[in-house]
Amino acid sequence: MADLATPFAVRTAATLRVPDVVKDGPLPLAEIARRCHAVADPLGRVLRFLVHHGMFTEPEPDVFGPNDASNALRSDLVDGPRSWLDLDGAVGRADLAFVELIEQVRGHHPAYAAAFGRSFWEDLAHNSQLSESFDTLMETKTHGIAPLVADAHDWTRYAQVADVGGGKGVLLAELLRRYPQLRGVLVDLSGPAGHATAYLREQGVLERAEVVAASFFEPLPARADAVIICDVLGDWDDEDAAQILRHCGQAMEPGGRVLIVELLPDTDRMATFTEMDLRMMVYVGGRMRDLDRTQRVAAAAGLSVEDFTPLDNGYAIIECRSAP
């Protein structure tokens, strides 16, 4: 449980795309190193360690080949784990901030900024490669959630939805495709907002969509019958989450709703939930919440939770209205 060599060796091989390079069969180390833009001796030591931990084969000295474990990290695997482990990508890099977990727990400083000199969101804003990789990871993740959200709620009762912190627009595109009466607005920072316009166009729904680059820490430049906030509140502490929800509430048309989509704790998924909670703490100083805590944050924002629809994947739609 406490070993660090294995995860770092696996992530090094995944980042260098060694599983792709050897996918068709064993190759000499020098050739693997050449194709991976790496140095042969240290790479060989990483691969030999991994062979003895179940990943790759070494059929003869200094020749390495694939096995099931290495193939699981190929980049052509749809929804595979490689991009989450890529040390050059936003989440693989953010994992490196776990070295500062001890100082965060001691109350000395937030982990990510201590590791990288600025906050996660500032880092994305300054580095387009990181920002693109984050938006792509969120796109992959939300492909798994969007159809469930689209099925689980009665969207026919709305004319206009807003997806706040909507990323690339996967959820909004799914809703607009399924419900032709809907129009939608996506609000996010300028990087993801730029990607969202292209994505919504590709999905053929841009004529019913608007994309606005704005911060949800300011009053939102949009109004809607349903204001969706999906996988966003976990990125923030309670005070910030309440401020975001307050702005969502102010953007509701009379009689409208704020729909919070978040992973909730459930007895079968506590390992995932608590891992997400640690990741949120380390990456962005946020936290995962149970329904009670979400209700308290919503109340601080002038909203009351009226309904709650669990989804099959551990997420739920938490429906809020203006508190009476």
Ligand X SMILES: C[S@@+](CC[C@H](N)C(=O)[O-])C[C@H]1O[C@@H](n2cnc3c(N)ncnc32)[C@H](O)[C@@H]1O
> Which stretches of the chain bind ligand X, using CB under 6 A?
121, 138, 142, 165-167, 170, 188-189, 192, 215-217, 230-232, 235
Distance of CA 317 to CAs 110, 152, 320, Å? Answer: 30, 8, 10
Measured from the CB atom, the residue of 2 and 78 that comes closer to ligand X is: 78
User: Considering the complex, what minimum distance in angstroms separates the CB of residue 146 from ligand X?
Assistant: 8
Q: Which two tokens stand for residue 63?
A: 């020749």
Is the CA virtual torsion 292, 293, 294, 296 positive or negative?
Answer: positive
167 vs 184, which CB is nearer to ligand X? 167
Taking the complex as a whole, the smallest distance from the CB of residue 63 to ligand X amounts, in Å, to 42
Q: Are strands 183-188 and 303-310 parallel, antiparallel or unpaired?
A: unpaired
Name the 3-class secondary structure at 43. helix
- Location of structure tokens 């909203």: 303
Nearer of residues 92 and 167 to ligand X, judged by Cβ: 167
**Closer CB to ligand X, residue 14 or residue 170?**
170
Which tokens in the block code for residue 299? 């109340």
Min dist CB 318 to ligand X, Å, is 14
Closer CB to ligand X, residue 60 or residue 202? Answer: 202
Nearer to ligand X, 8 or 121 (CB): 121
Q: Which two tokens stand for residue 239?
A: 């005070």
Shortest Cβ 321–ligand X spacing (Å): 21
- Please state the closest distance from residue 193 (CB atom) to ligand X, in A: 8
Q: How far apart are CA 309 and CA 324, in angstroms?
A: 22
Q: How far apart are CA 248 and CA 210, in angstroms?
A: 17
Taking the complex as a whole, how short is the minimal distance between the CB of residue 230 and ligand X, in angstroms?
A: 4
Rounded to the nearest 10°, the torsion over CA 50, 51, 55, 60 is: 140
CB of 259 to ligand X, least distance (A): 12
* Measured CA distances, 250 to 141, 174, 247, 318 (Å): 28, 25, 5, 17
Phi, psi of 87 (to 5 degrees): -70, -15
> Which residue, 182 or 232, is less far from ligand X as judged by CB?
232
Q: Judged by CB, which is closer to ligand X: 62, or 217? A: 217
Residue-wise DSSP of 244-307: HHHHHHHTEEEEEEEEEEEE---GGGHHHHHHHHHHHHHHHS-----HHHHHHHHHHTTEEEEE
Measured from the CB of residue 95, what is the shortest distance to ligand X in angstroms?
Answer: 15
Find how far residue 153's CA is from the centre of its chain: 22
Smaller CB separation from ligand X, 142 or 160: 142
- Quick check: helix, strand or coil at residue 217? coil
In the bound complex, what is the minimum distance in angstroms from residue 222's beta carbon to ligand X? 12
